Every structure is written in structure tokens, then in C-alpha cells.
Amino acid sequence: YLRECLKMMNEQSRLISEILEIVQLSDSRITSRRETVDIKKAILDLLPAYQTLADAKEQKMLVDIQENISCTMDEKLFSRAFANIMMNAVQNTPEQGEIRVYIKKQESGIIRLNVLNTGTAIADEVLPRLFEPFYREDKARSRSHGRSGLGLAIVKRALDIMGIDFSLENTEEGVLFWMDLPNCRDLEQ
């Protein structure tokens, strides 16, 4: 009984934190700081917490991020967004599934960060709604897994503040989240 009470308290605490975060990100006075961010380092600093969750589900996490790519953006907002993307990927990838985090340079020269999970496809009409606060595709399942429906709303607000283009789409391999990183340069060129 005590264990269940503690679990419920932790879930409520997390929900309150997420609500406060979404309110904070909704403040029109928030601006994006411009700082040089080493993309590989920023991502690798965040991954250990999600690797532990992935290991518990026997998921394989593959990371292919080149060295020496730096971008000018707000590292704190980027970290908030990326952390929520990774949590979403781990939660929606089946046991023994795969999560791939990789960079791909677009023909236009834009550096695109991709997070692909081998979870089941999402109905195309639902995809844009997933970024709405409190929206959950499967409300019953989400509640039973302690999900608030705020994670992708936080992602959207953080990336919008930085002016970063992003999308969530179905692919043959699973569900792909991508974001086009701003003002990047490959220091090896």
C-alpha cells in the first residue's frame, strides 16, 4: 500500500513539474540564448538516463553522431526538447525494439537530428495533435503508464522558441522525429 502511495505521489510530482514547465515555456517573454553547442557532447550527456530505461525493456539504442558539429542555439532549451523526445521514444518502442539517434546532412546543407523508434505507426491524422498539451493517442494506456500528454507539447514550445523546424512522421521502419538544427557548422570541413 505504501509503495503504491509513493508511486502515485511521484507521478503527481512529475505532472506538476511538467505543467510548470509548459507554463514557463508559454511565457512570451522567454527568449532563446545564443551559444555554441557541441551537438555530440550535448546528446551524449543526456543519453545515460534513457539508456537505463531502454535496457530495462531490452531495447537497443544506436547513436551515430559525428564529431565536431557545433550549432548556435539555446543549449538548455535544446536539452529540454531532446530529453522529452528520448523519453517518448523509449516509452513507445516495444520491448527488444530499437531506437536510433543520428545526424543527416540535408541537400540544402542543413544538419538534421533524427530519432527513430521501431514502435508502431501512428495514424497520420493524429500526428499533428500529439504536440497539443494533454493530448494522448490512447488515453487509457497512457494513464496506466504514467504519461501526462505534455512531453511533446514541451518539445514543441522549446523548439518554437528557438525557431527550429521539426516534425514527427511514420516511416517504413517506425516513427521518426526530426529537427533541423540552426546555425551549424562541421568543424572538420
d(C-alpha 30, C-alpha 22), whole Å: 12
Dump strand ranges (E) for 76-140: 98-105, 111-117
pLDDT at residue 113 greater than cutoff 80? yes
Among 103, 95, 88, which residue's Cα sits nearest to residue 44?
103
Of 94 and 12, more confident: 94
Among 90, 77, 93, which residue's Cα sits nearest to residue 21?
77
Q: Which of 101-110, 132-141, 148-157 has the lowest mean pLDDT?
A: 132-141
Q: Which three cell numbers stand for residue 100?
A: 536510433
d(C-alpha 166, C-alpha 171), whole Å: 15
Which residues fall within 8 angstroms of residue 183, CB to CB, at 6 or more apart?
A: 71, 72, 73
Among 115, 25, 20, 19, which residue's Cα sits nearest to residue 63?
115
Percent pLDDT > 70 in the chain is 75
Question: Within 10 A of 95 (CB to CB), how many other CB atoms are there?
Answer: 8
Alpha-carbon separation of residue 17 from 13, 34, 150, 152 (angstroms): 6, 25, 10, 15
Say whether pTM exceeds 0.95. no
| Confidence (pLDDT) at 142 | 46
pLDDT at residue 182 greater than cutoff 70? yes
Note the pLDDT tens digit of each residue in 21-63. 555 655 666 666 788 999 999 999 999 989 998 999 999 999 9
Domains and CATH numbers, the chain: 2-186 (3.30.565.10)
